Amino acid sequence: MQSEGKEHLATLKEEVPGVDTTKLEQVMSAAYALISPELQEVSLPDFPIDNLHAAALILKNNPNIPPHTLLYFLYPYKTFISKEHAKNVETVLDNLYIETKPKWNISLQCVEVKETQALVSMEINGDKSEFAVPCGDRRSRREEKGIVKTEYQSRLLNELLLSHSAGDFCVIGPKGCGKSLLISQLASLLGYTIEPIVLYQDMTARDLIQQRTTLANGDTVWRNSALVEAALKGRLAVLDGLHRIHASTLAVLHRLVHDRELQLHDGTRLIRHDRYDELVASGMSPKQLEESGVKRIHPAFRIVALAEPPVLGRGPHWLSPEILSLFIFHEMRNLSKNEEIFIINSLYGDISQPLHSIIDLADQLRYSNDTTLSNLSSSLSTRQLLRIASRMSHYPTDSPYETIQRTFLAKFLPNLARRALDGASQKIGIEQPQRFGKFTEKKVKCSTQNGVLTIGDTTTEVYKTDALTKVPDILFYDVPQHVRLLEWLLQDFLLGNHLLLVGNQGVGKNKIADRLLQLLNRPREYIQLHRDTTVQSLTVQPTVRDGVVIYEDSPLVKAVKNGHILVVDEADKAPTHVTCILKTLVENGEMILSDGRRIVPKDMIDSSGGDVASFIPVHDDFRMIVLANRPGFPFLGNDFFASLGDLFSCHAVDNPSIESELELLRSYGPNVPEDVMKKLVQAFALLRNMADQGQLTYPYSTRELVNIVRHLQKYPDEDLATAIGNVFDFDRYSKDMSDTLMEVLHSSGLPTEGVLEGRSKDALKKIQLSIERTSGQDVSSPKHGKEDPKNEPHVGGNTWAGGTGGRDTAGLGGKGGPYRLDKGHDVHQLSDAEKDDIPDHVKEAARAMNRKAFAERLKEINMSEYDAKLYGQFLRAVQPQISALRGVLAELQAKKKERQWSRHQTSGELDDGKIIEGITGEKSIYRRRTEQEPPPGSPPEKPKRLRVVLDVSGSMYRFNSLDGRLERSMEAVVLLTEALKGYETRIRYDMFGHSGEEHALELIRVDRPPQNEKERLQIIRTMHAHAQFCWSGDNTLPAASHAISTLANEDTDESIVLILSDANLRRYGIPPEKLGSIVTSDPRVQAHVIFIGGLGNEADM
């Protein structure tokens, strides 16, 4: 240890007498080694040296604690650095003889709560220890409902007691793992009152410390925040969402955490309790100190932070050296499968087979090496599993497949993720029911008789209320699919769950929610979110009357007070850092409003024993129904489901099935001809399918279909084409969209006003016929062959160029020819064995002629003029896809550049949070939408990196006439190069080819993307020529390895490799496992393989 470290050690020995010197020296040696210049080269975050005092305090009280455990409390390196860097840290610890996997047994014997402190007795690794910890002033415990303690959670709670004895601490864990519940148990154990403080991205230091308000006479005053109140009254301040708040806002906490001092905006100064007591002992009275603006921080005050782990490899993360110095850290993992089974058994009895399958699936997803599956695991958190178990204990008819589909909103998952989920489900025996999604087998009835509502097999009493004007009264036609969904919603509602309905626009989310409330006779409060929604506007709305700020309750607060149902519409439109404040309300029934009032559960008021004037108890009948559009394309809103989905019982709302939709249309248009409605339903089904595949940007919904039928019902003499045109009017301005719509309408038998009439596609698919036989002919010398002016098919000879199944000449399917030549005839293929049985001198001659012809072909490409007709052929084939992809890129660019609120402006929109300043005469009380500037000191934005590796092997040319695989690959190149035009700075890309001769044939350089049609045409011509003239063989593995390894070394925001192959693995002896290991070889690169051609079974291997 350096001299600086030795001085620090001597200081700690003086400050903490009686500490185990040997272990403390080990800990300090490791700490100073981790900040040495040698290790700084690997960019490790600085070790929080100042926190060694807290480690010394814990060690003094618990001398048997292992050094590694102490170090990990201060520096949880596995959470915020990569596995490679974690190994470097452990190497340092090994060199200092610090065991990285020590024996660690900790058990709590008893906690004796006294006036100001609690005496904790523990047993650590067999030795008993006793130490005092601060405690709260609440002596009556809240009743802990539904809490089952596991061994892991008990051990973690004991570790929190160790940290609590020394200072403030932070719990890091994935969402839904039980962090809030754990802190609630700690507070209950020590008699603390919790001050929940939900942190959000736009939170300012003023929001965290003090806010301005007015008195009844109009005087402006400063109101303390929940954090300051907790400091003065000795409560537990729980900062929920430490990972969300901006680091500059959190900086205000540093002095409070390290020195227990805080300067407030009104001039008041909070100081540590012992310093305050010294001032009193020196002769100053508490009244004098109060008049001087000095207040005492309660010795029992503690700050507890809750956060989700940082995402590694995606730029700077929130767990910076500054935040590391603030807290002692504890990691919390998801409960294991056995622990979850134990809890569910304790709460809900024996576990049924369907529920066991779902628990198995959750376990498989969490520990999967496939990133797609591991990313899905958050939807099956412990919180969500408990909700599913509760449901199945009351409604055991649920099939596991149905439950999984609803929980994951599988309908709206990307195709790759949905297939991965289905594959993982099938592995553990969760199969799709034969009639899943069909509602014709059993018609669900909905009725209300004698004050009892019955939907299917579910019954409940109709609610009695005086607020009848707030009960929805809508026109709703019962169709099988909607009634079945209403039954599911009713079941979750009766279980006390809050509901989340996700679906496309126009599928009836509002109608279904209102219908449920209409049937239940429940009054509704409604709030619609938008991109400008703020945390303040979500809770209360400040207004100025007679110079006094009056806070009007938002619909949310009214619903909580009166026991109404809060319907939150368009939840995906508001930023997730705004909607995240709903977390504590949904989870614990707690929320602090911007006017200082607190929403709390009823039992907290009974057990608090203090001032409850500012408390708003949550009414027993309060529920929340949240409506949101599906995440992803084409809406591209904020992903509410990913952020808060596991807090709700989730349901996907889709367009009705064909039968249900027809029944619905018959109700709206009883006089509309049946055949017209069937054609409309068929056309809209096609349009929705195209929207799901990304060919259309707008997913046409039942809303548009109902509008057409209602129009026809009201105006029966109106032309059908006019009624349809009312819905599609805006689409006529896009030629691609118009063509697509006309084609769909025509194929469904609907009028198109003569546009594109008679257009049909009668092409039949060609199939391959394989006949095993040997030609019995030898090869002599390679040659081009004669040109047939009539271009007749030639099979098996050695005279004509472009023949098939022959020898010596240029053609397809034969042997000994110099190169491939396709004249458009059906191909007769010789076997591989016969093609290999060629003398070496003939092979050499063929190769030489092949190279010469290839060189001449390349010369021709480079010298030829741009052939607009040829390029236009490829361009027209993918024009709709180019438009769709450019639309996605444009939306993503717009979303990235979406403007943010800039506060403290002298003009713009009045800022709700600065109304008081406006009364006092300040001018900077407005806010405006501006493009957000990057934070000072942040690294420059890195581009995304795309590399496409194309298959240009001989088999691509050989089988092109069979399935068009080479042409499709060339079209794909045109699609990408055209779509990425103008986005080269955001998405840098290059393209390589691979064949039997090359594993990295450069087609497009990353610094020189094609600038015009001629350069793009040259790329696809090069692909075609190489596939025609290259020698047989396969370099898929070297091509994939080269593409991934070289890209991994580049400094990018995200690296993606797309590898195209015709999947001829078996022929070349390529093990699928080898290819799979290469594709997943580097976590810095997302690699995907696209198999093309008719050998689909090889892609499944």
DSSP calls for 369-384: S-HHHHHHGGGG-HHH
Q: Is the pLDDT of residue 895 over 60?
A: no
Backbone angles phi, psi at 502, to 5 degrees: -120, 135
Instruction: Give the DSSP H or E segment for 221.
Output: strand 220-224
Report yes or no: 830 and 814 within 8 Å, Cβ to Cβ.
yes
Instruction: Give the DSSP H or E segment for 713.
Output: helix 702-714
CATH of segment(s) 869-892+939-1091 = 3.40.50.410
Contact partners, residue 471, CB within 8 Å, separation at least 6: 465, 517, 518, 521, 522, 523, 524
Distance CA 107, CA 101 (A): 19
pLDDT at residue 127, as a whole number: 87
Distance CA 982, CA 486 (A): 48
User: What are the DSSP calls for 246-272, one per residue?
Assistant: -HHHHTTHHHHHHHS-EE-TTS-EEE-
pLDDT at residue 205, as a whole number: 83
pLDDT at residue 764, as a whole number: 43
Q: Is the pLDDT of residue 913 over 90?
A: no
Distance CA 211, CA 533 (A): 20
Q: Minimal CA–CA distance to 665: which of 651, 689, 683? A: 683
Which option is the CATH number for 106-331: 3.40.50.300, 3.20.20.80, 3.40.50.880, 3.30.390.30? 3.40.50.300
pLDDT at residue 89, as a whole number: 86
Residue 1093: pLDDT band (50, 70, 90) is: low
585-595 pLDDT, tens digit per residue, is: 888 788 878 77
Residue 262: pLDDT band (50, 70, 90) is: very high
Could you give the percent of the chain with pLDDT greater than 90?
A: 22
Q: Is the peptide bond before 943 cis (omega within 30 degrees of 0)?
A: no
Q: pLDDT averaged over the chain?
A: 82
Identify the residue with better confidence: 854 or 900: 900
Mean pLDDT across the stretch 698-706?
Answer: 82
Instruction: Give the DSSP H or E segment for 834.
Output: helix 832-836
Residue 576, token pair as written in the block:
């997730």
- N-to-C CA span, the chain: 56
Residue 1015: pLDDT band (50, 70, 90) is: confident
Partners of residue 988 on adjacent β-strands? 945
Contact partners, residue 856, CB within 8 Å, separation at least 6: none
Report yes or no: 768 and 1094 within 8 Å, Cβ to Cβ.
yes
Residue 860: pLDDT band (50, 70, 90) is: low
Residue 139: pLDDT band (50, 70, 90) is: low
pLDDT at residue 439, as a whole number: 44
DSSP 1008: B
65-110 pLDDT, tens digit per residue, is: 999 999 999 999 888 887 778 888 888 888 888 888 888 888 888 8
Least confident of 274-278, 597-601, 742-746: 742-746
pLDDT at residue 759, as a whole number: 31
CB neighbour burial string for 64-88, b if at least 16 within 10 angstroms, e if fewer: bbbbbbbbbbbbbbebbbeeebbee
Identify the residue with better confidence: 578 or 953: 953
Per-residue H/E/C for 691-703: HHCCCCCCCCCHH
Q: Is the pLDDT of residue 761 over 60?
A: no
pLDDT at residue 260, as a whole number: 92
User: What are the DSSP calls for 1063-1075, one per residue?
Assistant: --TTTTT--HHHH
**Most confident range, picked from 134-143, 516-525, 963-972:** 516-525
**Most confident range, picked from 221-235, 744-758, 854-868:** 221-235
Helix 151-164, helix 67-74: angle, nearest 10? 80
pLDDT at residue 774, as a whole number: 53
Distance CA 648, CA 113 (A): 37
Residue 465, token pair as written in the block:
């209320």
Identify the residue with better confidence: 243 or 549: 243
Residue 1051: pLDDT band (50, 70, 90) is: confident
Identify the residue with better confidence: 757 or 1072: 1072
CA separation, residue 836 to residues 4, 808, 842, 1034 (Å):
75, 13, 11, 15
607-639 pLDDT, tens digit per residue, is: 554 556 778 899 999 999 999 988 765 666 677
Identify the residue with better confidence: 901 or 1054: 1054
Dihedral sign, CA of 713, 718, 721, 723?
Answer: negative
Identify the residue with better confidence: 258 or 906: 258
Identify the residue with better confidence: 762 or 556: 556
pLDDT at residue 261, as a whole number: 94
Q: Is the pLDDT of residue 438 over 60?
A: no
pLDDT at residue 241, as a whole number: 87
Report yes or no: 540 and 595 within 8 Å, Cβ to Cβ.
yes
pLDDT at residue 634, as a whole number: 60
CA dihedral of residues 646, 650, 652, 656 (deg, nearest 10) = 180
pLDDT at residue 1099, as a whole number: 46
946-1003 pLDDT, tens digit per residue, is: 999 999 988 888 888 888 888 989 999 999 999 998 888 888 899 999 988 888 899 9
Identify the residue with better confidence: 814 or 475: 475
Mean pLDDT across the stretch 601-609?
Answer: 66
Report yes or no: 700 and 686 within 8 Å, Cβ to Cβ.
no
Mean pLDDT across the stretch 396-409?
Answer: 84
pLDDT at residue 269, as a whole number: 94
Report yes or no: 293 and 269 within 8 Å, Cβ to Cβ.
yes
Residue 813: pLDDT band (50, 70, 90) is: low
163-191 pLDDT, tens digit per residue, is: 999 999 999 998 778 888 899 889 989 98
Residue 144: pLDDT band (50, 70, 90) is: low
Partners of residue 525 on adjacent β-strands? 566
Top CATH class, 439-654: alpha beta
Distance CA 866, CA 613 (A): 81
Mean pLDDT across the stretch 275-296?
Answer: 91
Q: Is the pLDDT of residue 417 over 60?
A: yes
Distance CA 971, CA 967 (A): 6
Q: Is 631 exposed, middle or buried (0-12, 13-18, 19+ CB in 10 A)?
A: buried
Question: Looking up tokens 């209360």, which residue turns up?
Answer: 540
Q: Is the pLDDT of residue 425 over 80?
A: yes
pLDDT at residue 380, as a whole number: 87
How far out from the chain centre does Cα 820 lie?
Answer: 48
pLDDT at residue 1085, as a whole number: 87
pLDDT at residue 886, as a whole number: 80
Least confident of 471-485, 491-505, 562-576, 850-864: 850-864
Cβ count near 442 (within 10 Å): 11
920-929 pLDDT, tens digit per residue, is: 778 888 878 7
373-395 pLDDT, tens digit per residue, is: 888 888 888 888 988 999 998 88
CA separation, residue 290 to residues 234, 285, 293 (Å):
18, 9, 5
CA separation, residue 853 to residues 236, 849, 860, 995, 1031 (Å):
81, 6, 11, 17, 13
Mean pLDDT across the stretch 45-49?
Answer: 86
DSSP 106: E
Q: 926: number of CA atoms within 13 Å, CB side?
A: 9
